[in-house]
Amino acid sequence: MKQTATLSHEGGSQAAAAQCMLAAMLIIGITDNAVPLLAETIGLGQFYLLRTFVALPFLWLMARAGLGGLSPRNFGAVLLRAVLVAVSMVFYFSAVALMPIAQALAGLFTSPILIVVISVLFLRMRIGWIRIAAVLCGFAGVLMVLQPDPAAFDWLILVPVAGGLFYALGSLATGLYCQGESTVAMLFVYLLVQGLLGAMLLAGLEIWPQAVPAGADGFVTRGWVWPLWEISHLILLQGCAAVGGVFLITKAYQLGEASYVAVFEYSVMIVGPGVAWAYWGQTLNIWQMLGIALIITAGTTIALRSR
């Protein structure tokens, strides 16, 4: 999904930044709904590997067009950030394939809440009562969307939350260690790590094959599948979204003030479930709708108070 990149520039256009972010969230909200279709045919490892193969040529063209170099200044820091974000997307895409997208997004969007918690506990950041209230509000919203059953707890609901945790760590690594890095270079290393993780998953399943349930339930344990002609357009769509969506997100943060731009990221919490309702017939009950509203409120408050 999304990836936080660089800090904003003072002279940027706030309106243009908002438009870039809204366009990015529209792309992500639509294309992530195609993951369940892919999950019915291929596995997570193959999905990750093919997504990289499709995206890399577009990234090379961006570098040739002068949008940034492919070589990072601090390879270790960029690699750490890439690993954290790539792992977070493993959990997120697994969740999208196995549960309604609103629940997957709710888990992923625990990241701004977790960033505050990690910053307070480990970076000794001091926050006021407003952000404390926002964190509590955000966690309440996540619980309302995921709706865990204490009597029959399903560990599957923790998958998107794990994605949110690793995404929060990746965002912190970006802010602490990757300032001044080329966006294209960070995306290049991320795609390489993504492809390597996909290859490792495929190799692991080849050595230790697992039972593969039918349909999307077999997304995590399915190995290499061939041929792919029937879903080639969906793979191409995912590769384009991987580059286009992240580029627009990064451009938004370069044009506008970060605390202002971050608010518009939450539009995907409306676009994603909206597309899922229109295409898949996924519906939300009143408590889940209220939970989404609480998550958006909490994230917006944290973003604005973090100036």
CA–chain centroid gap for 227, Å, is 28
The amino acid at 52: T
The amino acid at 43: G
Classify residue 143: in a domain, yes or no.
yes
Predicted confidence at residue 277, as pLDDT, reads 93
pLDDT at 7 over 80: no
**Mean pLDDT for all residues in the chain:** 87
pLDDT at 178 over 90: no
pLDDT at 91 over 70: yes
Classify residue 274: in a domain, yes or no.
yes
The model's pLDDT over 247-300, given as tens digits with 9 standing for 90+, comes to 788 778 767 776 677 788 889 999 999 999 999 899 999 999 999 999 999 988
How crowded is the C-beta side of 191, counted as CA atoms within 13 Å?
A: 25
pLDDT at 242 over 90: no
Total count of domains within the chain: 1
Q: What is the DSSP string of 251-299?
A: HHHHHS-HHHHHHHHTTHHHHHHHHHHHHH-----HHHHHHHHHHHHHH
Q: How deeply is 124 buried, as exposed, middle or buried, from its count of CB atoms within 10 A (0-12, 13-18, 19+)?
A: exposed
Report the candidate in 39, 38, 86 with the shortest Cα–Cα distance to residue 219. Answer: 39
Predicted confidence at residue 122, as pLDDT, reads 84
Report the candidate in 30, 21, 84 with the shortest Cα–Cα distance to residue 262. Answer: 21
Predicted confidence at residue 51, as pLDDT, reads 92
Q: Look at 246 and 70; give whichever has higher pLDDT.
A: 70
Task: Enter the tokens of residue 232.
Answer: 């080639």
* CB environment 127-163: b (16+ within 10 A), e (fewer): beeebeebbebbbebbebbbeeeeeeeeeebbbbbbb
* CB neighbour list of residue 248: distance below 8 Å, 6 or more residues apart: 20, 21, 23, 24, 27
The amino acid at 226: W
Ranges 66-70, 186-190, 224-228: which has the least confidence: 66-70
Classify residue 6: in a domain, yes or no.
no
* Percentage of residues of the chain with pLDDT beyond 70: 94
Helix (H) or strand (E) holding 176: helix 158-177
Classify residue 1: in a domain, yes or no.
no
Whole domain around residue 85: which residue ranges? 16-305
